[in-house]
Amino acid sequence: MKLVLEDGAIFEGKSFGASHEMKGEVVFSTGMTGYVESLTDPSFAGQILVCTYPLIGNYGVPDATLFESEKMHIAGLVVSEYSEMYSHHEALGSLGAWLRESKVPAISGVDTRALTKRLRERGVMLGHMAVKDASDFTDPNRENLVAQVSIKEKRVYGNGGIHILVVDCGMKENIVRSLARPEVTLTRVPWNYDFTQESYDALVLSNGPGDPEMCAPTIANIRKSMRSGVPILGVCLGNQLLALAAGGSTYKLKYGHRGQNQPCIDAETGRCYITSQNHGFAVDANSLPSSWKVWFTNANDGSVEGIRHATRPWRSVQFHPEASPGPTDTAWIFDDLLKELSGRRRLAVKQL
């Protein structure tokens, strides 16, 4: 099997996944571990993933309860070396068998360093994985990927007194785990659901794939929600959606940020956090209204990694505080939201 890039470059390898062809956007991730979580992250929808870490598959695949969604979302997988032999106490099968079951093609024996350098120098490109010649390509960013991966019906978790409404734009399951507390009722709604008709104490905007401008209904509903002044927290795509709802703009990064080792600096404290990331678009800092400020920046390229409103309880981050995979350095962002909501609830009870 081979991977053909739109610039004509060809990378040949040995197939260890499904044997059929697949098209997508070729991106790379710098994570050293966490392939199970990455492959089930809906933010990878439509993308052919190149792993920069040279050995993949050595710890197999665990039970599906540890996945970040119900299925695999990548279009294809490219690795340097695949380990058919795996060893881990939670492993139930091999990565290759899982890929074949999921109908996702994968190749090993590729010079992933050369491929990654090409993507860094020229930017992410469209690719075609095929057994024979391939000359046509499909850009997944021209599709509404969020509509493809979002849930179709509302779901409710828990029965606590604090009501958090989460807009699922391709949400990772660990966001649910991070917010699910005894004191919380979590309502999860589809990307285009009119949540302005609901009553809730806070709004959370999830991660997801593709171009944020495709989510016009979500952006419109966020704007309506802002009129009430309810607290808002955005994560990854949610950061871009909040910026667009506020009147800002977004742009496509040259090769994006994907992996579990991205350094982000808190503009308020100067502290640097190592974060888990998976995105190809970013917020334009110069487009933000004067009432908004940059909260986090990427230490590598200076791009926006978080925004906050000057007076309203609205904020968002471009990275993944829920991690999975990756470091949990910024899990406090969820904790801060819950502390704020608990404080508001206690104040409301006192006023009664």
Q: What is the CATH number of domain 2-142?
A: 3.50.30.20
AA letter at 32: M
* pLDDT of the residue at 350: 62
Q: What is the mean pLDDT of residues 213-229?
A: 96
Residue 134 banded pLDDT, cuts 50, 70, 90: confident
Query: What is the percent of the chain with per-residue pLDDT over 90, rounded to a whole number?
Result: 94
Residue 345 banded pLDDT, cuts 50, 70, 90: confident
88 is catalytic: no
User: What are the pLDDT digits (tens) for 38-55?
Assistant: 999 999 999 999 999 999
Of the ranges 39-43, 220-224, 341-345, which one carries the lowest mean pLDDT score?
A: 341-345
The answer to whether residues 114 and 85 touch, using CB atoms and an 8 Å cutoff, is no
279 is catalytic: no
Which residue among the candidates 37, 173, 305, 322 is catalytic per the annotation?
Answer: 322
Q: Tally the C-alpha atoms within 13 A of residue 325's C-alpha that lie toward its C-beta.
A: 16
Residue 66 banded pLDDT, cuts 50, 70, 90: confident
d(CA 290, CA 309): 9
| pLDDT of 326 strictly over 90 | yes
Q: Where do the domains of the chain lie?
A: 2-142, 145-351
Q: What is the mean pLDDT of residues 192-220?
A: 96
Q: What is the CATH number of domain 145-351?
A: 3.40.50.880
Residue 133 banded pLDDT, cuts 50, 70, 90: confident
Q: Helix/strand/coil (H, E, C) string of the chain?
A: CEEEECCCCEEECEECCECCCEEEEEEEECCCCCHHHHHCCHHHCCEEEEECCCEECCCCECCHHHCCCCCCCCCEEECCEECCCCCCCCCCECHHHHHHHCCCEEEECCCHHHHHHHHHHHCCEEEEEECCCCCCCCCHHHCCHHHHHCCCCCEEECCCCEEEEEEECCCCHHHHHHHCCCCEEEEEEECCCCHHHCCCCEEEECCCCCCHHHCHHHHHHHHHHHCCCCCEEEECHHHHHHHHHHCCCEEEEEEEEEEEEEEEEECCCCCEEEEEEEEEEEECHHHCCCCEEEEEEECCCCCEEEEEECCCCEEEECCECCCCCCCCCCCHHHHHHHHHHHHHHHHHHHHC
| pLDDT of 347 strictly over 80 | no
Which residue among the candidates 51, 169, 215, 236 is catalytic per the annotation?
Answer: 236
Q: How far, rounded to the nearest angstrom, does the alpha carbon of residue 306 sit from its chain's CA centroid?
A: 14
pTM: 0.96
Cβ neighbours for 203, distance < 8 A, ≥ 6 positions apart? 164, 165, 166, 167, 195, 222, 225, 230, 231, 232, 233
* pLDDT of the residue at 155: 97
| pLDDT of 352 strictly over 90 | no
| pLDDT of 348 strictly over 80 | no
* Closest C-alpha to 124, from 132, 133, 116, 113: 116
Name the average pLDDT for the chain. Answer: 96
AA letter at 234: G
322 is catalytic: yes
d(CA 262, CA 245): 26
Residue 303 banded pLDDT, cuts 50, 70, 90: very high
| pLDDT of 135 strictly over 90 | no
* pLDDT of the residue at 351: 61
